[in-house]
A and B are shown apart, each in its own frame.
Chain A
């Protein structure tokens, strides 16, 4: 099948690639860019395991074609830790609060929570639950995921307070 050239930014790096027009974004990320942290859990855009950050919005990457990402800025789970290896407060929060078990939903959860906290830095529990409703987890029962996100929100707020103080 004829291929189309696309250029986009993934985790801060410029990427140019040839893709079939029908290639799903999630397959492009996983198989062409080897970013296998983004997972696939369904065929119907329900589970959110494939969530990535796309031009400042959460998207389910199984629902877009790679060609639709032309010019986009994408962030995946692999782009969350700092260059020096420091974990993002969400990554830390998920570990601190036992917000994961098998880990399969976790990258999608973290990417969705990342955008949620951009939009609403101090969400209430209900706001977190509603904001995360597009991501399914079969292991944790969500309670600790909520706590993980609360942990991250507090930490991020604390950090920026400190920055402001400096």
Chain B
């Protein structure tokens, strides 16, 4: 190829840099069945572990008899709490400052809790033997309703901490109470309500759901007794954190632990935490001296690892008659299950719930959150959202609709009247955040114009009249949602996990031929990092993305990082990538100047080369420079061309978007059909529009599932109802609506390339759009708030309660 005559456009196109729809590198292996997921791993002598689990929600364990299991040929070991106790591994710390039983000792606290771990030569034998374990229980009354957790006479769940009046996040009011978290100004908010012309108050619940990636949680542990080294392959969204936790728990020095996260089949928050299965596989490998694999099945996944939400939000807004909001007050009752195993940054027991003022200019707000224990699985993870942000977005977006209804205002109009205006950014919210950038009015207007909002409202009115005349049983709902996310945890000034600041990292090495290897502290679970990080590098240093190999997930080779969740990869590791590139570029400039025999101030970067200013024909490409860096570096300069950057972001990023859902509901069947779903996202600079669109489609589909049918429910004695794909609603291609995507671009002013992150926006903004559509459809019949999930049966029941079923 002729480097001189090639046009700028051709050179640019060859890079496949920022903003292009680069096809994914990952797909080459995935479409051929050549991904390497944990369960694909086969090691010589490998054993399989399986759990015996509690059938009860709450019971005392009187005895455990493992003799029959141990007698099964092929069984090598059975671990119980008694075996873990001398190793001090019967309990493990959670990320939220609580402890969780690895294997239940005296008591079981939720159905499906791990009691014994059987290790055998194959997975069928392990499963057989797990069934033969005999446990004698004394059943105790189960506590499943979080509203009764602190009631008089409530059964006390956590006997291990029942006398502790102080938890990791302050005072505990009751043995079943975990924490109270308070933020905002109590007094001014009370005054705003005292003086309000209009107020609303509603209990808005967000049901318990599960992230449910298609691949369950799994790991393989292999301990080498001779070297004293432990290798763990696992479904880890945060492999470095897993290694640090493993070092602390096991006493094995951190450098002798090798944690490897291979390809991961989806995470969505399910694969952030440390689970008993991982710990037991490690202990079993140490005990047996052989590699041990643990793979949870789907029912175990849905009933034992990492639920999400279960937030019950009593929400009040104060406003003027003209529709200006003057205050927000929220009290949350948070059901954390049997152990507080939330995966939030350590100082944030309710995550970033204080983003609950949303996109609106609330002069004052006050929030309290009470976390309680119940006889349910632990978790409370950030399921495809930044920590508790989707709960907050649902809360405020539902409440704004309720306020609009009370004021007799159109919900889009009410939002327009209260948006933070463009000139108010950077904006300090009443609950303490500094929003980096936004242009909400433009985004909302674009959304309304595109869908033809006024015409839709007219059609809806006509349909309501026809319904009243008895001409149709179909009603129409228009769900408007305008969300602001807070992602990219985060600045070390306010975010850490177990004391480790939440920076992230990139290490980039350019080899003599100009081929690049780049390693990051994050870990993709489908987010296309191998494709997109390479695009950033291509644009920053002018080497084609195809010449860049991105590698993540191996703690031996990747720089330390906090992993991928909370849409943090783009705000943190992508920023680190750009910063490392800029260090490389600075050195490259010196080398280019040396080769071109000019002062380094006289050369400038141009797409894929440095050229002499004003003389475009005199240049050195990045490939020339790479070669020189290793073979003839300028005097006084070290050989090599590489850099590492640890990026501590100065602020979070605040993606936003306007979503509109148009829905038709048949009141005779309760069946809701999404006629149209329009999603406008503003995630700042767009790295790869194809991948952004894919993320939005996926997130909207998950939001649809949550709003329209998902629930991990328990009966009154603590049985989890429907923890399999028979009952847990996952939409197929048939139910899933078609998605229309759109965008505006408001770059983040503090991010090196202006990007904000997008993966979780559609889940955060999507759920309220669907729920608002259902509520909007039934509002003319008198509904103010109908709880999710909105499956056909519940919609039918809601209509019946409103007197609309004949």
Contact = CB atoms under 8 A, between A and B. Distances in A.
B31 interface: yes
A44 B691 contact: no
Interface in B663-701: 690-691, 693-695, 697-701
A35 B327 CA distance: 60
Task: Choose among A96, A130, A139 the residue with the greatest number of B CB atoms under 10 Å from its CB.
Answer: A139
Interface residues of A, number: 59
A9 interface: no
Given A43-B724, A98-B690, A104 B215 contact: yes
Interface string B694-730: 1101111110000000000000000000001110001
Given A98-B694, A103-B263, A142-B701, A46 B33 contact: no
Interface in A113-163: 128-130, 132-146
Contact of A103 (B26, B42, B298, B702): B26
Nearest to B23: A95
A95 B298 contact: no
B212 interface: yes
Contact of B33 (A47, A76, A134, A137): A76
B736 A142 contact: yes
Interface string B303-337: 00000000000000000000000000000000000
Contacts of B297: 42-43
Contacts of B32: 37, 77-78, 80-81, 87, 91
Q: Which 8 A-B pairs have the closest CB atoms?
A: A37-B33, A104-B265, A103-B30, A102-B526, A141-B697, A77-B33, A46-B725, A141-B701
Nearest to B688: A98
Given A102-B525, A104-B266, A138-B213, A47 B725 contact: yes
Interface SS, B side: loop
A38 B26 CA distance: 17
B691 A133 contact: no
Contacts of B702: 138
A105 interface: yes
Interface in A9-46: 20, 22-23, 27, 30-31, 34-44, 46
9 contacts: A36-B36, A39-B214, A41-B214, A44-B298, A95-B31, A103-B31, A138-B698, A143-B739, A146-B733
Nearest to B725: A46
A74 interface: no
Contacts of A91: 31-32
A144 B24 CA distance: 14
Interface in A50-98: 76-78, 80-81, 87, 91-92, 94-96, 98
Interface of A: 20, 22-23, 27, 30-31, 34-44, 46-47, 49, 76-78, 80-81, 87, 91-92, 94-96, 98, 100-107, 110, 128-130, 132-146
A120 to B, nearest CB: 15
A94 B32 CA distance: 11
Nearest to B690: A98
A95 B22 CA distance: 11
Contacts of B37: 36, 39, 104
B733 A133 contact: yes
A76 B33 CA distance: 9
A39 B264 CA distance: 12
B528 A101 contact: yes
B758 to A, nearest CB: 13
B656 to A, nearest CB: 21
B739 to A, nearest CB: 6
A42 B263 CA distance: 18
Contacts of B152: none
Interface residues of B, number: 57
A110 B31 contact: yes
Nearest to A45: B725
A36 to B, nearest CB: 4
Contacts of A92: 31
Contacts of A37: 32-35
Given A95-B24, A138-B212, A140-B697, A103 B733 contact: no
Nearest to B122: A31
Nearest to B213: A138
A43 B700 contact: no
Contact of B726 (A46, A104, A141, A143): A46
A54 B246 CA distance: 44
Contacts of B526: 101-104, 139
B733 A107 contact: no
B124 interface: yes
Interface in B719-751: 724-726, 730, 732-734, 736, 738-739
Given A130-B734, A132-B732, A102 B31 contact: no
Contacts of B36: 36
A128 B28 CA distance: 23
A146 to B, nearest CB: 7
Contacts of B527: 101
Given A36-B33, A87-B32, A98-B691, 11 more contacts: A30-B39, A44-B725, A46-B724, A46-B730, A47-B214, A94-B27, A138-B702, A138-B730, A139-B694, A142-B736, A143-B697
Interface string B207-240: 0000011111000000000000000000000000
B268 interface: yes
B423 interface: no
B751 to A, nearest CB: 23
A144 B690 CA distance: 10
Contact of B214 (A27, A38, A78, A138): A138
B370 to A, nearest CB: 32
Contact of A22 (B28, B124, B263, B691): B124
Nearest to A137: B214
A129 B734 contact: yes
B298 A42 contact: yes
Contacts of A138: 212-214, 266, 268, 698, 702, 730
B163 interface: no
A144 B697 contact: yes
A128 B734 CA distance: 9
A43 B296 CA distance: 10
A123 B691 CA distance: 26
Contacts of B31: 87, 91-92, 94-95, 100, 103, 106, 110
A92 B28 CA distance: 9
Given A46-B725, A104-B265, A40 B39 contact: yes
Contacts of B691: 98
Given A37-B34, A138-B213, A103 B124 contact: no
A132 B736 CA distance: 12
Nearest to A42: B298
B40 interface: yes
A22 B693 CA distance: 44
Interface string B504-531: 0000000000000000000001111000
Contacts of B35: 37, 103-104
